[in-house]
Structure 1
Amino acid sequence: MNYEEFYYSIDCKFPYHDESEWKRIVAQSIEIGEDAPFLVLHEICRMPASEKLEHAKHMEMYKYWKDSFSSPVQEIVEPASLSYINKMELSDNEALDIMDKLSEYPESYSALQVVLFSCPDDDEIVDDKYQETIRLWKSGA
């Protein structure tokens, strides 16, 4: 399975209540590589309002994901990830700082999205930074 197929297989279909299945998906994302593990992180963090999951189970899922592989991007994006899971927002400035750090890791699109949606961004400065980072990565700069 390639990245695009993987994306469509889990987008809005993540099995939050089937532990063996979400663990399988985490492992599969690591095999696929690229941004796939962070696509899974995005699904873990941005759980739909229609889904209900105990906080402890949500944290267990995140911890399993985090402990399953190692990447410097994990540590960078962690404050944004935890802000979602704990239902708290980062400040726009905190999100901008995280995006600055992530900009050093080209094609970390899903991690960047987790940060984008972790703050209020009332003035759309975080969205501007998101768009700028994507442009930078696509230009190869």
Structure 2
Amino acid sequence: MTYQEFYTHIDCRFPYHDTAAWQQLIAQSLEIGGDVPFLVLHEICRLPTSVTLNIEQHLAMYAYWKTVFSHCVQDIVEPASLALIQRQLLSDADVIYIMEQLRAYSQQYSALQVALFACVDEQGVVDAKYEEIASEWQR
């Protein structure tokens, strides 16, 4: 399965309330590799408004993802991940700091998006930083 096929498969269809199913998707993302495990992280952290999940379940899902997948980017993006899960946004400066650290890990767009959505970004500076880094990676 390609990245795009996997994305289409889980986008707006992530099985938050089916433990076996989301664990299988995490395993499948690891098999595909690349940015795909961070695509799953993005789905885990950014619940759709139609989904209700208590904080313990949400943190358990994140903890499971973190224990079965090992990548140096995990620690960098963790503050943004936890902020999204706990619905406690970070400052724009904190997110830009995370993004600058992620810059060194080319093609990790989904990890970069987790950071992007972890703040309000009223001035558009975080979105501009996202576009700057994504454009750099595309070159």
Name the TM tier (shorter chain).
over 0.9
Runs of 4+ in 1 over 3 A off after TM superposition: none
TM-fit CA distance, 1:52 = 0.5
* Alignment partners' CA distance in 1, 2:69 and 2:11: 21
Q: Secondary structure at the match of 1:120?
A: coil
* Superimposed CA distance per residue, residues 5-48 of structure 1 (whole angstroms, 9 cap, x where no aligned partner): 00100001000000000000000000000100000000000001
TM-fit CA distance, 1:104 = 0.3
* Superimposed CA distance per residue, residues 50-90 of structure 1 (whole angstroms, 9 cap, x where no aligned partner): 10011100000000001111101100000000000000000
Whether 1:68 and 2:80 are equivalent positions in the alignment is no
TM-score (normalizing by structure 2): 0.99
TM-fit CA distance, 1:2 = 1.3
Identity of matched residues, %: 54
Q: Which amino acid aligns with 2:97?
A: D
Residue segments in structure 1 that go unaligned for 5+ positions in a row: none
Whether 1:135 and 2:130 are equivalent positions in the alignment is no
- Counterpart in the other structure of 1:27: 27
* Alignment partners' CA distance in 1, 2:26 and 2:40: 7
- Between the two proteins, the alignment pairs up a number of residues equal to 139
Q: Which amino acid aligns with 2:119?
A: C
Q: Which amino acid aligns with 1:128?
A: A
Residue segments in structure 2 that go unaligned for 5+ positions in a row: none
Q: Secondary structure at the match of 2:51?
A: coil
Q: Secondary structure at the match of 2:39?
A: helix
TM-fit CA distance, 1:96 = 0.3
- Counterpart in the other structure of 1:45: 45
- Counterpart in the other structure of 2:13: 13
Q: Which amino acid aligns with 2:76?
A: I
* Superimposed CA distance per residue, residues 82-140 of structure 1 (whole angstroms, 9 cap, x where no aligned partner): 0000000000000000000000000000000011110010000000000000010011x
Q: Secondary structure at the match of 1:31?
A: helix
